[in-house]
Amino acid sequence: MRIVISNAKRSILDTYHDIKAEFLQLYLNESCYKFNRRYFGFRLFDRLELCSCTYGADFKHRIY
């Protein structure tokens, strides 16, 4: 468990250089998404295509 937390923290700091409290849940969601899909390999594009075709947004727009 400590390795997962450490990898998520390092990934967030490498990508965004600063962690803001208001976006922390979004950062963690992204880390969980990447962690859960680390073994998809060649099937990753197929999964991405499926998700993009079936996703239904419940908001008009989001400002970050």
Those residues whose C-beta lies under 8 Å from the C-beta of residue 35, and which sit 6 or more positions away, are: 4, 7, 8
- Is 13 a member of any domain? yes
Asked if the model's pLDDT at residue 60 lies above 70, the reply is no
- Is 63 a member of any domain? no
- Is 64 a member of any domain? no
**Domain interval for residue 49:** 2-54
Distances (CA, A) of 45 to 2, 8, 12, 58: 30, 23, 23, 24
Domain count for the chain? 1
State the Cα–Cα distance between residues 59 and 15, nearest whole angstrom.
26
Q: How confident is the model at residue 62 (pLDDT cuts 50, 70, 90)?
A: low
- Is 45 a member of any domain? yes
Which helix H or strand E contains 16, and what residues bound it?
A: helix 2-16
At 6-23, the pLDDT tens digits run 877 787 787 777 778 888
pLDDT at residue 23 in the model = 84
- Is 62 a member of any domain? no
